[in-house]
Amino acid sequence: MSDKNEGPRIRIADETQSRFDHPRHSLHRTVSNSSMSIRSSHSRVAAPEAVLPITYRTLSYNINGDLKKADHSNKKDSKHVRDLEQLDWHLISVDELFQRLSTSPSQGLSVEQVARRTSEYGKNKPTPPPSGLFRKIVGYVFGGFGPLLFLGCILVFIAWKPLGNPPALANLALAIVLAVVFVIQAAFNAWQDWSSSRVMASITTMLPDDCMVVREHKQEWTTATELVPGDIVKVKQGNKLPSDLRFIAVSSDAKFDRSILTGESEPAQGTVESTDKNYLETRNIGLQGTHCVSGTVTGVCVATGDNTVFGRIAGLTNKPRHEFTPLQKEILRFVLIIIGIIATVVILVVVLWAAWLRRDHPDWINVPLLIVSCVSVGIAFVPEGLPIAVAMSLTIGANIMKKNKILCKSLATVETLGSVSVICSDKTGTLTKNEMFVTDCYTGGEEYTEGASRRSILQGEETDASAGNSINRLRIVGGLCNAAEFDTSTLSYPLSQMKMYGDPTDQAILRFSETLGSVNKLRSDTKNLFEIAFNSRNKFMVRIMHSLHADVED
The residues assigned a catalytic role are 426
CB atoms within 10 A of CB 443: 18
Find out whether 538 and 477 touch, Cβ atoms under 8 Å.
no
- Cβ-defined contacts of 166-174 (< 8 Å, 24+): 168/368, 171/368, 171/372, 174/372, 174/375, 174/376
Q: Identify which of 446, 468, 473, 467 has the alpha carbon closest to the alpha carbon of residue 457.
A: 468
Give the rounded distance of the alpha carbon of 401 from its chain centre: 11
Instruction: Write the CB contacts of 114 (distance below 8 Å, at least 6 apart in sequence).
Output: 215, 226, 228, 231
Rounded CA-CA distance 39/29 in Å is 7
* 3-class SS letters over 442-503: EECCEEEEHHHHHHHHHHHHHCCHHHHHHHHHHHHHHHHCCCCEECHHHCCCCHHHCCEECC
User: What separation in angstroms does the CA of 543 have from each of 160, 165, 470, 527?
Assistant: 88, 96, 19, 10
Pairwise CA distance, residues 238 & 293, whole Å: 6
**What span, in angstroms and rounded, lies between the C-alpha atoms of 121 and 368?**
64
- Establish how many alpha carbons lie within 13 A of residue 170's alpha carbon, considering only the half-sphere containing its beta carbon: 6
Closest by CA to 20, choosing from 61, 51, 59, 55, is 51
Report how far residue 381's alpha carbon sits from residue 266's, in angstroms, rounded to the nearest whole number: 56
Q: How far is CA 251 from CA 176, 220, 269, 292, 396, in A?
A: 72, 21, 10, 12, 45
Query: How far is the C-alpha of 277 from the C-alpha of 346, rounded, in Å?
Result: 68
Residues present in the chain in total: 554
List strand residue ranges (DSSP E) for 27-154, in order: 27-31, 36-40, 59-61
Q: Using an 8 Å Cβ cutoff, are 275 and 256 in contact?
A: no
**What is the DSSP secondary-structure string of 73-94?**
HHHHHHHHHHHHHT--TTTS-H
8 A C-beta contact, residue 28 and residue 39: yes
**Neighbour count for residue 385 (Cβ, 10 Å):** 10
